[in-house]
Amino acid sequence: MPKYRILKMKKIGFLRAAVAIVLMAIVFVTVFSYTTSPIYKEWGETPDSPIFQIIGKYWALGSVPYRDLWDLKGPYIFLINAIGYWLTGTRLGVYAVQIVFMSLTLLCFYKMFRTRFQPGQSLTMVAISLLPLSYIYEGGNLTEEYLLPCLSLSFLFILQWIDRVENEKRTAHPPLYAFVYGIVAGLSLMSRLTNSLASCAAVAVIALYLLSCKQYANLCLNIVTFIAGIVFTTLPFLLYFAHYDALDVMWNTTFLYAAKYAANATKDLAEIGIHYFLLSYFSSILLLALCVWKTIRRRSLTVRTCLWFMSALLPFVWFCQGNGFGHYGMTVLPLFAIAFIEIAELRLRTLAVCVITTMFVACASKVRYMFVIRDRVNDYVSAYTDILESVHGIDYSSFVAYNCDPNIYLALDIRPANPFFALQDFAIERNPLLRNDIVSSFRSKRPEWILLAKPEDETVNIQPMLDESYTIVATKEGVQQLILYKKK
């Protein structure tokens, strides 16, 4: 067959695979992203996505994150949401952006599987990879989701490099790959520091290997391009916030406050449940087990095994001592593809069947949950609207909800009148350094109206200011004790 015919057939085959991947992405995001998908009536009950949407929405309208609206995440997630709201003015724009990112992620997975499997088998493996993701997606529109394309691309490059090392004895590492690793590290700096633990662990192993092979020039060139990748992703953010005199608060929030939050973020394994822990961080656990089994069986430790072991171990250590949130497991989802490649090479068919069955059951339970919440009404937001509707003349341009579910701002299309607009006392509990900032902000920018969700037997940090400068207009008991205050 002529060469051009072969190339044409390969191109057509790839385009068909790409179309199938986009369809998978559309179905997945539509079903599992209940905070943005059009098939869900409301925004769900998770606080993270609405906070990102609120900051992104008003960034698209001219507000400056951190200065005007605050959250402890890096600016990358706010930029994604700003793009979504700039496109459509609604959460459907974010939903569209999610589909693009999911498609790119699955395309990288497909390329990884194609190193070992035929096209049809690779598409099947891509679909299987969505099973563990469904369990840890947690409503969608989270920081990890928007790092997955670059994370997946970096592990595709790592896989291609280690294949060349073992098959062709080519030890040099392409500097362009290091540039992508730097992009991953930079985006992690601009979202959440721990998002790139897996790729950074692999980078460290690669650097040590190049050093041991005396590839000094190649190592130096890779270090330069790695740093260039970090600069490429972080410099635009730094320049933007410097221009708007918000660099200090962005820097303190993204690094100092976030580091303090992470240090105070612990959760007992018994509290979250062993099954939840295992399913959430399954990709790391599976690859760790495979590396240990492979080393014992072959009685030797290879560079490939070191790469995969460290890539799985470092984030797993963080998972064990962190908040225990399932969506953290998204940062190691590319390791699921790596694990299945290892399973195929080791011909562990029984293990493959057990893994797929387990993931299918977990996915089925999540799908069932999606049907349950599809028409569910957010009880907290309903209670908030009830108490607000009972009072006439509320000026929503000078309104803040304190300790409340941030979905209230999306439900009523309200721009918060204070930078610290959601879960204020929770943020202080996780990072006491924030107390002075939040209290001072409310004292200097006193909104006309404050809706307080008062926790039982817990101190409200702005209570002295409320007692001094505000009067109670309405109260409501129910899912929360609600008190509506008006400035005297």
Q: How many CB atoms lie within 10 A of CB 61?
A: 12
Contact in structure between 43 and 50 (CB atoms under 8 Å): yes
Flag the least confident range among 16-25, 72-81, 263-272: 263-272
Does 384 lie in the same domain as 365?
A: no
Residue 73 Cα distances to 39, 137, 184, angstroms: 28, 18, 16
* Token output for 470: 């505000």
Give the domain extent around 185. Answer: 3-373
- Tallying the residues shown for the chain, one arrives at 488
* Token output for 392: 């006439």
pLDDT band at 262 (very low <50, low <70, confident <90, very high): low
Does 407 lie in the same domain as 363?
A: no
Does 433 lie in the same domain as 314?
A: no
Does 226 lie in the same domain as 315?
A: yes
Report the percent of the chain where pLDDT is more than 90: 72
| Predicted confidence (pLDDT) at residue 244 exceeds the cutoff of 90 | yes
484 or 320: which carries more pLDDT confidence? 484
Does 297 lie in the same domain as 404?
A: no
Does 218 lie in the same domain as 78?
A: yes
pLDDT digits (tens, 9 = 90+) for 153-196: 999 999 999 999 998 888 899 999 999 999 999 999 999 888 99
Helices marked H in 213-302: 216-243, 247-251, 258-263, 269-272, 274-280, 282-298
Domain boundary, last residue among 321, 339, 373 = 373
Which residues, in sequence order, are CB contacts of 252 under 8 Å at separation 6+? none
The separation between CA 99 and the C-alpha centre of its own chain, rounded to angstroms, equals 15
DSSP string, 77-119: HHHHHHHHHHHHSSHHHHHHHHHHHHHHHHHHHHHHHHTTS-H
Does 330 lie in the same domain as 411?
A: no
What is the number of domains present in the chain? Answer: 2
Q: What sign results for the dihedral spanned by CA atoms 234, 238, 241, 247?
A: positive
pLDDT digits (tens, 9 = 90+) for 426-484: 888 888 888 999 999 999 989 999 999 988 877 899 999 999 999 999 999 988 899 99
Does 412 lie in the same domain as 341?
A: no
Cβ-based burial of 229 (10 A; exposed 0-12, middle 13-18, buried ≥19): buried
Kindly calculate the radius of gyration of the chain based on its CA atoms and give it in whole angstroms. Answer: 24
Flag the least confident range among 195-209, 265-279, 395-409: 265-279
H/E element, 387: helix 379-389
Does 43 lie in the same domain as 123?
A: yes
Cβ-based burial of 413 (10 A; exposed 0-12, middle 13-18, buried ≥19): exposed
Does 383 lie in the same domain as 348?
A: no
Does 355 lie in the same domain as 479?
A: no
DSSP string, 45-74: S-SHHHHHHHHHHHHHTT--BTTTB--SS-
DSSP string, 400-439: EEESS-THHHHHHT---SSS--S-HHHHHHH-TTHHHHHH
Instruction: Tell if the pTM clears 0.85, that is, is over it.
Output: yes
Domain boundary, last residue among 373, 396, 420 = 373
Does 384 lie in the same domain as 327?
A: no
Angle at 448 between CA 442 and CA 454, to 5 degrees: 65
pLDDT in the model for residue 432: 85
Domain boundary, last residue among 373, 395, 413 = 373
pLDDT band at 25 (very low <50, low <70, confident <90, very high): very high
Phi, psi (5° rounding) for residue 384? -65, -45
Contact in structure between 17 and 45 (CB atoms under 8 Å): no
pLDDT in the model for residue 480: 86
